[in-house]
């Protein structure tokens, strides 16, 4: 194994208390019972073992909505860092990345090193350890395509182990790790191609922005820069100067319907147009949640209580632009959107972030 960049030496970390809003991109969340920091794999395991049953792990805080009551147990801030090469040959390189490594730092490093496979996932906030949990994807790439295994602490067995990719249960924005308290992600292994070019561009919007055909390849740096520009235009790249980025990104997943369900949607939507859709494996169709939200009357900038709002740049993002709202206000807006979309189109929207001590 060789270090591409190494994890810093761990130091003793104090136990604190405080408002969890400072650890989430939404800037929402009530108080914690106690907050501890873990800067290495060993510390993560130790902190989890010490904490007992009531525990919440937070890294980037970009895919979580924490209720106003906060979390009464122990919050472990995952701050492990580092990337090392496990194996390499002329065509591929396999790297192990610590759970707390900021995701976009990793993507930038892969592009710089000429490793292809993550470039279209540029600009996504959060940590590397969070990516297998919801099978992060964007612009035609998903992490499931490059992950070979996930190192975990199994709280049931009380042991550290490795879950091979085939056993991770990867699906659209899901895995065995999501909504499970059993597994604590410690690090993630990725197998990437040695290539100066991106993978085939699959996403039509990205292909148009690159001025190439779907299926073409472009230089890695060009793919990354274009994705960053597209995401920034939607308020999906964290920017302290942009209040639209005080969000969890897409709040709802795109609904996946069977053939009959999609035909019913088309009938109910006939007056407003053809729902954008993408066929999946078997008799399923993925439809655009953003389109459903917009056609149900919730356009960009739509206001909610206490200053929360739909992003002025993207209808899928719910924002806390002033940083002064409550989680309940955000949930109220999300519930109104979900219920109105269902009443209008008969389709139920499901939240993408994990909800902690709050319900939709």
Strand partners, 163: 150
Cα–Cα distance, 156 to 150 (Å, whole number): 17
DSSP 8-state assignment for residue 165 = G
3 within 8 A of 82, measured Cβ to Cβ:
yes
Whether 174 is a known active-site residue: answer no
Known active-site residue 250: yes
Q: Which one from 40, 62, 175, 250 is the annotated catalytic residue?
A: 250
Q: Which helix (H) or strand (E) holds 91?
A: none
Rounded Cα distance, 40 and 196, in Å: 32
Q: Which of 43, 119, 142, 352 is catalytic?
A: 352
Calculate the alpha carbon distances from 343 to 29, 222, 265, 329, 347 in Å.
Answer: 30, 43, 12, 21, 8
Helices (H), the chain: 41-51, 103-112, 204-210, 220-233, 259-268, 289-295, 327-345
Asked about 312 being catalytic, the answer comes back as no
Residue with tokens 């940590």: 127
Neighbours of 290 (CB within 10 A): 19
Catalytic residue from among 96, 173, 231, 246: 173
Angle between helices 220-233 and 103-112 (to 10 degrees): 150
* Catalytic sites, residue numbers: 173, 250, 352
């Amino acid at each position: 194994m060789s270090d591409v960049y190494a994890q810093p030496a761990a130091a003793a970390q104090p136990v604190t208390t405080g408002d969890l809003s400072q650890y989430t991109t939404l800037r929402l969340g009530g108080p914690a019972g106690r907050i501890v920091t873990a800067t290495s794999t060993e510390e993560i395991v130790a902190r989890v073992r010490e904490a007992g049953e009531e525990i919440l792990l937070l890294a980037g805080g970009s895919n979580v909505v924490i209720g106003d009551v906060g979390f009464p147990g122990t919050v472990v801030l995952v701050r492990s860092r580092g990337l090392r090469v496990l194996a390499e040959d002329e065509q591929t390189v396999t790297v192990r990345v610590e759970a707390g490594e900021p995701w976009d730092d990793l993507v930038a490093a892969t592009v710089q090193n000429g490793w292809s496979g993550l470039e279209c996932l540029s600009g996504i906030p959060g940590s590397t350890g969070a990516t297998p949990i919801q099978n992060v994807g964007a612009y035609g790439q998903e992490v499931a395509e490059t992950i070979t295994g996930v190192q975990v602490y199994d709280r049931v067995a009380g042991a550290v182990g490795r879950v091979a990719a085939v056993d991770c249960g990867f699906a659209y924005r899901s895995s065995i790790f999501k909504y499970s308290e059993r597994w604590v992600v410690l690090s993630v292994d990725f197998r990437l191609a040695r290539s100066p070019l991106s993978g085939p561009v699959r996403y039509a919007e990205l292909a148009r922005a690159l001025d190439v055909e779907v299926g073409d390849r472009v230089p890695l740096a060009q793919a990354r820069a274009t994705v960053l520009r597209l995401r920034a235009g939607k308020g999906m790249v964290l920017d302290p100067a942009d209040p639209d980025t005080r969000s969890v990104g897409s709040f709802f997943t795109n609904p996946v319907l069977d053939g009959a369900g999609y035909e019913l949607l088309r009938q109910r939507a006939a007056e407003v147009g053809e729902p954008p859709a993408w066929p999946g494996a078997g008799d399923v169709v993925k439809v655009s949640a953003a389109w459903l939200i917009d056609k149900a009357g919730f356009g960009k900038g739509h206001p909610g209580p206490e200053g929360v709002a739909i992003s002025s740049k993207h209808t899928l993002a719910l924002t806390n632009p002033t940083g002064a709202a409550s989680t309940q206000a955000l949930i109220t807006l999300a519930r109104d959107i979900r219920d109105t979309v269902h009443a209008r189109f008969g389709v139920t929207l499901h939240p993408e972030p994990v909800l902690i001590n709050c319900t939709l």
